[in-house]
Amino acid sequence: MAPIFKNSLLIFGLGVAFCVRAQNITANSTFDAFVPTTVAQMLLSNVFQPTYVPFTTIHSTYLELQSNFESTFVFSQNITLPQTFKHSERMVHYGLALLYSAGFPRNTPGVAQISFAELSRRFYLAAIMHDLGITNNTEALAHPAHAMSFELWGAFMAYDHLHESHPELDAAQVGDVAESIALHTTQYFQGNSSATGWLLQNTAVFDIFGYDVYGPGSFDPFWNTQTVAEIEQAFPRDTFIAEFTADFAKEEALKPNCIFTHSFFDLADAKISTIVPSKTS
C-alpha cells in the first residue's frame, strides 16, 4: 500500500472519530477554482473528512440547479441513454456532497477563487451533459461531431447547446464546462484541473468503480457511505453498467482510436449493484 493511501485512511479514521458536521456553505462561499489534478496530490495537500451530508440537503440544491437550467436538463435527458442519465444525476449529488462536507480546497492563498454558486452551476452543467455521447438519439447521431470519441462529441454538443440556450454564459464558463466534458476520461499525472473538471472526472470514476479506484479506500476520505447509500437509493443503478458497457463496446468497434481505449480503468471492475461497501454488494 502506497504511503499516500495509509495517510488518507488515517484521516478518514479521524473524521469519523470526531463526528464532524457538514460545513455551512452559502452561495457566496468560495472554493479554489483550480486544484491539483491527481487524487494523490489532492490528498497530500488537503485534509478531507467524509462528513455525512443528508440527501435532502444535496437534493434541494440539485433541484434548484435543475430548474435554473430546465432546458439543459430536458435536452440532456432526451439524448443520453436512460440509465446513463441517472449516472449523471448521481454524479451531481456526489459533487455537491463533496463541497458540503469538509476538505475540498478553499481560500488557498494565491489561488483564484470561485463561488459555490458559480462552481455548482458549472459542475451541474458539465455533469448533466457529460455523457451526451452515450446515445442512440437520432439528432445526436446526426450532429457533425458524431464521428469523434463520445467525450469530444458530447463536449461539442454541450458547447453548441450552451451557446444557443444560455447566451448569458461567457467564454470562461462555457469553456470550463466543455473542456471538462472533453477531458473527463483522460488521466493526467501532474498539473491542475479546474474545480469543475476535477469534480466531473472523479465523480464519474467513483460512480462506476467505487471507493478503491486509486488503491484500497482511496476515495474513502471524500464520500460518506451513508450519504452515498441515500443517493443510490434515490437514483438506483439498475442496469447502468450493462447499458454503458454495451454502448462503449459499440464505440470501440466503430472508433478504434477512441479515447476510452487508452484508459487505465477497466470496465470489468465496474460496480454493478452498489458502490457502497457492504457484505451484500
Provide the mask over 204-243, with x wherever binding to ligand NAG is found by CB under 6 A and - wherever it is not.
----------------------------------------
* Contacting residue, 57, 192, 225, 274, with ligand NAG by CB under 6 A: 192
Between residues 32 and 151, which has the closer beta carbon with respect to ligand NAG?
32
Q: How far is the CB of 243 from ligand NAG (least distance, A)?
A: 6
Q: Is 138 in the site for ligand NAG (CB under 6 A)?
A: yes
DSSP per residue, 247-266: HHHHHHHH-TT-GGGG-S--
Q: Which is nearer to ligand NAG, 211 or 237 (CB)?
A: 237
CA 229/CA 225 separation, integer angstroms: 6
* Amino acid making up residue 231: I
Beta bridge mates, 80: 135
- Looking only at residues 24 through 83 of this chain, which bind ligand NAG when binding is defined by CB under 6 A? 24, 26, 28, 34, 74, 78, 81-82
What is the C-alpha separation between 19 and 272, in angstroms, rounded? 30
Q: Does 139 bind ligand NAG (CB under 6 A)?
A: yes
Query: Least distance in Å: CB of 57 to ligand NAG?
Result: 12
Instruction: Return the number of the residue (43 or 276) whose C-beta is nearest ligand NAG.
Output: 43
Cα–Cα distance, 153 to 185 (Å, whole number): 13
Asked if 19 is part of the footprint of ligand NAG (rule: CB under 6 A), the reply reads no
Stretch of 4-12, 55-63, 136-144, 160-168 contacting ligand NAG, by CB under 6 A: 136-144
**The only residue of 111, 169, 213, 267 in contact with ligand NAG, by rule CB under 6 A:** 111
The 3-state DSSP class for residue 158 equals: helix
Residue 140 CB partners (closer than 8 Å, separation 6+): 79, 132, 133, 146, 153, 157
- Between 23 and 274, CB nearer to ligand NAG: 23
Amino acid at 174: V
C-alpha grid cell, residue 130: 457529460
C-alpha to C-alpha distance for 277 and 275, rounded to whole angstroms: 6
How far apart (Å, rounded) are the C-alpha atoms in residues 214 and 2? 10
Centre a 10 Å sphere on the Cβ of residue 14 and count the other Cβ atoms it contains: 12
The site for ligand NAG (CB under 6 A) is made up of: 21, 23-24, 26, 28, 34, 74, 78, 81-82, 108, 111, 136-139, 190-192
